[in-house]
Amino acid sequence: MSNEVKSIGIIGLGSMGMGAAKSCINAGLDVYGIDLNEAALATLSDAGAKAVSTNALDFSQQLDAVLVLVVNAKQVNTVLFKTGLAASLKPKTVVMVSATISADDAKQIEQQLNSYDLIMLDAPVSGGAAKAATGDMTIMASGSAEAFSKLKPVLDATAAKVYNIGEQIGLGATVKIIHQLLAGVHIAVGAEAMALAARANIPLDLMYDVVTNAAGNSWMFENRMKHVVDGDYSPKSMVDIFVKDLNLVADTAKDLQFPLQLSSTALNMFISASNAGHGQEDDSAVIKVFDGITLPGVEK
């Protein structure tokens, strides 16, 4: 038991990071929150965090583990290395990297962490804000047995399902990228179906009800097309996130010399939505690339 972490620093208190942090607090772990958003820090402090700060160096020596839940590889490198955090952590501290990044980026981050005698778990997450809030995320992770063992209290607190993909760093990242292929295509095709329904003058709430009670449903359709029905594009996950993630899919396919027709089309849809000014809206706003339809809550 002494091998397991007790105190964890969570970097990135967005919808996923906040849920993970609160789940760790509920599990009895000592949680230190790091984010640039003062409101998020205040929320986590009120929830029972040991300490919060915009600078992880304030308590780096108290940490047994670090969970990084930021957007991309550039942000991971910034928070771990450009800030000096990695250099200030105790040797053998385990770093759980849960951003959606390429396998090559994951390997490069591991090499840098190794130079500081730190241990990495390549551990992308899925499930959205709701499952993060209840400690029911899905984690697809790769890394050493030591990393899994040390992080067991964190994994138990934050996830309903943890998949051990293997020891090699980069495998977790690759599984997440393949998952994002499906997620992005499901959102795009859901938007296409709802746009066609709008064109046919079928009420979108009716269409949504039919699909969610029939064989054409998917988790992404049920979750994201509800935003379309409600006319609410406040971002839970943004269009630009899928521009990034589907580009990672495309890069992975290019490296493997493997054709991906559907995800390529979905990527172009998200790029079009972003170029039209919807990049910071909820990813369901990809439906706005379709002309000649009227959507709930959207002014023409």
Catalytically annotated residues = 176
Instruction: Pick the closest to residue 171 from 101, 138, 122 (CA basis).
Output: 122
Q: What is the DSSP string of 119-167?
A: EEEE--EESHHHHHHTT-EEEEEEE-HHHHHHTHHHHHHHEEEEEEEES
Structure tokens at 68: 């990084």
CB-based contact 263:246 (threshold 8 Å): yes
Reported in sequence order, the residue ranges of 130-281 that DSSP labels E, i.e. its strands, are: 137-143, 159-166
C-alpha–C-alpha distance, residues 287 and 295, integer Å: 9
Amino acid at 16: M
Beta strands at 65-68 and 94-97: parallel, antiparallel or unpaired: parallel
